[in-house]
Amino acid sequence: MSTQAAQGILFTHATPQQGFKLLELPSELVELISNEAPILELKSPPPSQAQSQSEFDEAPDYVHLCTPDKTYQVRQVQSSNSLHILRPSTNTAIVENEVKNNDDDDMDMDMDMNTETMTSIANCGSTLELFMPKEGFSAVPFLVKTLGFYLGSEDREDVDVDMADDAEGEYARNARNAMNALFADIPVSKAQCEQGWVELCAFVFHSNSSTNNPGANCWRPSATVKVDVWKRVVEGAVLQGINLEQQFLVKDLWKSVLDDNGEEPFPRGLFEAVLRRVCEADSTASGAAMQWANIEKPRCIQWIGETYLEAKAPTAMSALGRSEFLNAWKDHLPESWRSEVAFSKLPEGSYKLPDPTSICFVHEGDRQKLKKNLSTDASAATTAKKSRNWHELFKNQRRR
């Protein structure tokens, strides 16, 4: 500092104090904004979702800081130390006032009248930090609460657009606008919203019952609907000689699933959503019409098995025989993939075995509860182990 030769620095306190919040940034975010800084968003869920979101029961009102592909929860951290924000200034008036009011005749009148002053303009009793859990944040719980649940019974008279011939036309634009409006209220990054959208096979469909709400035209199909669409895809591919193990034109596959009179058995958007779910990750943006497709075999095999189990055996009361399930799983795959079907291909925790011969689906909520219980049990076991170790330690000391 320029005042290092001085005997002291005047410290003053501004009144009123300014309202500052200090935000601690992780290193990866600092690096991101230091280069070509992207648009950062502060997002929170609508009040209806915030009150019902079980994942954040301890903090129903929260804000997320979102980059284009990551999400951080903004948390307030209290500090026992006062953090002052200082502003350096040259304050001659303060020094002159001190000279006039000082009765000490021996005071050094050669005091520098331009002494630099440090002024506290804000006192922060807490700071803000950015938190990201190990597993990250997901848009799926929010989308499940927002999207309409499609059972295949909606009126589709309003849908009469060939997305393949009008990929950049009105339908594609309306679909993207509906998705963007929906994502604006989802408190995670846009990339994670896209990922959740694809995971749920969500699609845009304008039904006669739609309203003006952002998510009114956005739907997620039931597991039964997804299985039926995929079964129709496999059958159509066989009849038209389309090899699903190689790259193919989506338009050709779509024509293969149409009825004999050319009518659509389901919305084109639903067809592409199911197809996008089993294709290579990030191969096609979820808001654009698909032109070419490459199905990823391991991804497809796993998804079909899990979805079929959810559709046919959603609870232990409706459990399927294990052999019956494996045979049905094989029947929904191309012939050359049948030999790769095995229970080990299902996602971890996605099923349970109620008895020695049957199998049923485990919903995501139950999986999370099981994970939390296992985590709690592990913590309790660790605590007990530590406790026993301390007892053993004290016992050893007494013996000495």
Say which residues have a Cβ less than 8 Å from residue 384's Cβ, sequence separation at least 6: none
Mean pLDDT throughout 10-17?
82
Mean pLDDT throughout 384-400?
47
Answer yes or no: is 51 within a domain: no
pLDDT in tens, 61-79: 689 999 999 999 999 888 7
Q: How far is CA 189 from CA 65, 180, 201, 372, in A?
A: 8, 12, 18, 25
Strand partners for 130: 74
Domain that holds residue 85: 10-44+56-92+114-131
Q: Are residues 120 and 158 in the same domain?
A: no
HSE toward the beta carbon, residue 314, CA cutoff 13 A: 6
Q: Are residues 151 and 229 in the same domain?
A: yes
Q: How many domains does the chain have?
A: 3
Q: Are residues 88 and 40 in the same domain?
A: yes
Q: Are residues 144 and 276 in the same domain?
A: yes
Question: Which of the listed residues 131, 158, 183 is the one where a domain comes to its end?
Answer: 131
Answer yes or no: is 389 within a domain: no
pLDDT in tens, 211-255: 555 567 899 999 999 999 999 999 999 999 999 999 999 999 999
Q: Are residues 276 and 302 in the same domain?
A: no
Q: Residue 351 phi/psi, 5° resolution?
A: -145, 165
Question: Which of the listed residues 280, 307, 342 is the one where a domain comes to its end?
Answer: 280
Compute the distance between CA of residue 261 and CA of residue 320 in angstroms, rounded to an integer. 36
pLDDT in tens, 341-386: 999 999 999 999 999 999 999 998 888 887 777 654 445 454 444 4
| In the predicted structure, residue 394 carries a pLDDT above the cut 50 | no
pLDDT at 261: 87
Answer yes or no: is 366 within a domain: no
DSSP-derived 3-state class of residue 46: coil
286 within 8 A of 194, measured Cβ to Cβ = yes
Kindly report which listed range (24-28, 84-88, 350-354) carries the lowest average pLDDT score.
84-88
What's the pTM value of the predicted model, to 2 decimals?
0.78
Looking at residue 43, its amino acid is: K
Confidence label for 309 from pLDDT (cuts 50, 70 and 90) = very high
Q: Are residues 268 and 307 in the same domain?
A: no
Confidence label for 323 from pLDDT (cuts 50, 70 and 90) = very high
Answer yes or no: is 191 within a domain: yes
Please report which residue ranges of the chain form alpha helices under DSSP H. Answer: 27-34, 47-52, 92-101, 140-146, 170-183, 190-199, 223-240, 250-257, 268-278, 297-312, 322-331, 364-399
Q: Are residues 148 and 213 in the same domain?
A: yes
Question: Which of the listed residues 280, 308, 338 is the one where a domain comes to its end?
Answer: 280
Q: What is the mean pLDDT of the chain?
A: 79
pLDDT at 286: 64
Q: How many CB atoms lie within 10 A of CB 248?
A: 18
Answer yes or no: is 372 within a domain: no
pLDDT at 99: 46
362 within 8 A of 349, measured Cβ to Cβ = yes
Q: Are residues 127 and 200 in the same domain?
A: no
**Choice between 152 and 55, residue whose per-residue pLDDT is larger:** 152
Q: Are residues 244 and 271 in the same domain?
A: yes
Mean pLDDT throughout 296-306?
96
pLDDT at 391: 46
pLDDT at 152: 84
Helix 268-278 vs helix 250-257: angle between axes, to the nearest 10 degrees? 120
Q: Are residues 88 and 147 in the same domain?
A: no
Burial environment of residue 24 by CB neighbours within 10 A (0 to 12, 13 to 18, 19 or more):
exposed
Answer yes or no: is 212 within a domain: yes
% of the chain with per-residue pLDDT over 70: 72
**Choice between 86 and 9, residue whose per-residue pLDDT is larger:** 86
Answer yes or no: is 98 within a domain: no
pLDDT at 122: 83
Q: How many residues does the chain have?
A: 400
pLDDT in tens, 105-139: 444 444 454 567 888 888 887 888 999 988 889 99
Kind of pairing between the strands at 292-293 and 248-249:
antiparallel
Looking at residue 353, its amino acid is: L
Q: Are residues 303 and 276 in the same domain?
A: no
Say which residues have a Cβ less than 8 Å from residue 47's Cβ, sequence separation at least 6: none
Answer yes or no: is 177 within a domain: yes
Q: Are residues 120 and 16 in the same domain?
A: yes
Q: Residue 159 phi/psi, 5° resolution?
A: -100, 110
